[in-house]
């Protein structure tokens, strides 16, 4: 299945793809959400999680 990306405000498909790549770059834990309205990409949101381990954790 092939789809073409239609953009808002005359942004080209290559610009949208670059923004998606940028959102994914160096993401270790999290998600990237792409919001589409009427077949047009209107928002790209990146959510990143940072996980910490306690140094005082006891091992049995």
Q: Is residue 23 part of a domain?
A: yes
What is the total count of domains within the chain? Answer: 1
Identify the pLDDT of residue 30.
96
Q: Is residue 56 part of a domain?
A: no
Task: Give me the domain span that covers residue 35.
Answer: 6-48
pLDDT tens for 17-57 read 999 999 999 999 999 999 999 888 999 999 999 988 887 75
Q: Is residue 60 part of a domain?
A: no
Rounded to a whole number of angstroms, the CA Rg of the chain reads 18
Q: Is residue 55 part of a domain?
A: no
37: closest CA among 4, 7, 2?
7
Q: Is residue 38 part of a domain?
A: yes
Where b means 16+ CB within 10 Å and e means fewer, 10-28 reads eeeeeebeebbeebeeeee
d(CA 59, CA 1): 50
Q: Is residue 20 part of a domain?
A: yes
């Amino acid at each position: 299945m092939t789809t073409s990306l239609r953009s808002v405000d005359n942004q080209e498909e290559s610009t949208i793809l670059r923004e998606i790549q940028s959102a994914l770059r160096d993401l270790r834990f999290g998600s990237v959400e792409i919001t589409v309205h009427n077949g047009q990409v209107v928002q790209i949101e990146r959510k990143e999680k940072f996980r910490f381990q306690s140094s005082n954790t006891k091992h049995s």
